[in-house]
Amino acid sequence: MPTTAIAGRDVHIDDEGFLTEYDEWNEELAEQLAKNIGIDTLTEDHLKVITFLRDDYAEQGETATLRRVQTVGGIPTKELFVLFPKKPAKKMAYVSGLPKPVGCI
């Protein structure tokens, strides 16, 4: 897997720039990843989504879909589109340091 420097350290990524090593992620890295996609500041609402995604990934072994975030995480889809505009599933996974969700283009 290729590596790149983000937030002053080397991390493993796939061909689309998604982190491939779960343990390389931290909140400082998340801040930089968010900036890379046009989210200037991660709010408590962003962190609530990220925490759910990372915890769910650790339990399920795959990145949660929007539907799962809504039904299991209790976060309305409309809110996800506000927090992560245009392609929320892809952006949420990217900032959370997780693989792109299955079925996401």
Residue 71 lies in a domain: yes
Task: Judge whether 36 lies within some domain.
Answer: yes
pLDDT digits (tens, 9 = 90+) for 72-96: 999 999 999 999 999 999 999 999 9
- Flag whether 52 is in a domain: yes
pTM: 0.93
**Helix axes 44-60 and 27-36, enclosed angle (nearest 10):** 110
Is residue 8 a part of any domain in this protein? Answer: no
Q: How many CB atoms lie within 10 A of CB 87?
A: 14
What is the percent of the chain where pLDDT is above 70? Answer: 96
The boundaries of the domain holding residue 67 are 27-96
Q: What is the widest separation between alpha-carbon atoms in the chain?
A: 36
Report the catalytic residues. 104
Residue 7 in domain: no
Residue 10 belongs to a domain: no
Q: How many domains does the chain have?
A: 1
